[in-house]
Structure 1
Amino acid sequence: MSTRYSGAVPASPVLRLDAGAAWLDLLASVGNAYGTHPVERLTGPPVMQRWLAHHGLTAGRTPTDRDVASARALRETLRPLALAVLDEAPVPAEPLQALQRWLDADAPLRAVERNGRPAPAPPPTPAAALARVARQALEHLGGPEAQHLHACAADDCRMAFLDPGGRRRWCAPERCGVRARVRAHRARVRGRAG
């Protein structure tokens, strides 16, 4: 699992939003990150705007290409930290230090009413939104949520997700789970034929 994603060539507008936390969904914004053909899902400002909106982080201004580049950089800063926690390996110093860049952009939270409940006010900028994502990642990686962090069992996926129940093996049973069962079935059939 130590392979580091180095940049996706193909693009896809389909976002994965099922990892259990905003920072994990950011990691999942590269499909097949550990396979032979990674796919960039965070393809531009409109996609980032949808991603932010999904997580309740719609900022006071819309994202720019520079914000997208910053989100991708945050993603690749978080990836080795998540891998270290998943692998129970030493935390790499360089990405941990680099994370501070996003944490420094964190703005104090203001309380507002949303749907009859107290909630944090929207972040003023996409940079402040990414700071909240960085803070969430740091709190999860260093807190009790870390024990609920798992990786998809598919070698070509390895998508990280939160699983408080401890029962999930795949990021999505209908995706990686089905593929794994198909591969296992084909291997059994080949074994019987050979």
Structure 2
Amino acid sequence: MTEETVQDAPAEAAPEPPARPARPARRRAPKQDALLIADTATARAGVEQIAEPQQIGPGHRVQVEEDRLVVHLFECTLPGYRGWNWFASLARAPRSRTVTVCEVGLLPGEDALLAPEWVPWSERVSPEEKAQEEQERAEEEAAAAPADQAPGTAAEEPAAGGDEPGSGPQDGTVPSPDGERP
């Protein structure tokens, strides 16, 4: 009898059909809903749920988002919110005359002051700032070293066996604070 070894051959992937050039999806413009566009009072009442009436300015415009969905934008008169707009999204079901407030809030306009995009600390620090920080650290270390001592040398060399108890000066004299003997 002979033993045959069977090796698994890698499965061949099915050939992919040739890729077609991507065509942009054609989409018709949403229909303007006259009922939703005209219902400014409902939109303003929706915004008044989150803002005081004096904070809602007279400026008004409408954006058609989808069929039976529009956004009413009102000028924001809050101090510090120049260029911002209160918004109210209005919608209605097909064949219905009832207007519904979907969402209200505050959106930045084109000339609104916005915070810059967040950047991690490691990317904010420039190489020049890193070099300056290292230089300052080296200067601080140099200033911390005693002035009468050369950098990198010990203040006093321990005598042989100087760390053991009872191995003090043999002549009974005690060194002064500056390391000299009397």
With the length of structure 1 as denominator, give the TM-score of the two structures: 0.17
Q: Larger relative CO (CA 8 A, sep 6+): 1 or 2?
A: 1
* Greater share of residues in strand: 2
Structure possessing the higher radius of gyration over alpha carbons? 2
